[in-house]
Structure 1
Amino acid sequence: MSTRTFRITVRGAFDALTADQRTALLARAAEHDILHAAFTAEGTLTYDLAARPFFTFRYLDSGEAEEDILEAAERAEAAARGWLTERGYGWKNLTSNAEDLSQAALGKRRRQAAARGEG
Structure 2
Amino acid sequence: MGTQHTYRVIVRGTFDGLSEESRSRLLAEADDHGLAAMQFTEEGSLTYDRTLKHFSYRLVVVSDAEDGEEMAGALAEDRVETALKALGHGYKGLRSTVTDLDTMKINYKR
- Per the alignment, residue 72 of structure 1 pairs with 72
- Per the alignment, residue 12 of structure 2 pairs with 11
Q: Which moved more, 1:93-102 or 1:1-10?
A: 1-10
Displaced runs of 4 or more, over 3 A: none
- Per the alignment, residue 106 of structure 1 pairs with 106
Question: How far has the Cα of 1:52 moved from its partner?
Answer: 4.8
Aligned residues: 109
Change (3 A) 1:73 1:19: same
Change (3 A) 1:30 1:107: farther
TM-score, with normalisation over the residues of structure 2? 0.85
Q: Which moved more, 1:3-12 or 1:59-68?
A: 59-68
> Max radius of gyration: which structure?
1
Cα distance in 2 for residues equivalent to 1:3 and 1:82: 23
Instruction: Please say if 1:82 is aligned against 2:91.
Output: no
Change (3 A) 1:84 1:100: same
TM-score, with normalisation over the residues of structure 1? 0.79
Aligned identity (percent) is 34
Q: Which moved more, 1:57-66 or 1:28-37?
A: 57-66
Change (3 A) 1:79 1:2: closer
Question: How far has the Cα of 1:85 moved from its partner?
Answer: 1.0
CA RMSD of aligned residues (A): 1.9
Residue pair 2:3, 2:66 contacting (<8 A) in 1 also: no
Question: How far has the Cα of 1:83 moved from its partner?
Answer: 1.0
Instruction: Name the SS of the counterpart of 1:67 in structure 2.
Output: helix
Unaligned runs of 5+ in 2: none
Change (3 A) 1:66 1:34: farther
Instruction: Name the SS of the counterpart of 2:106 in structure 1.
Output: coil
- Per the alignment, residue 28 of structure 1 pairs with 29
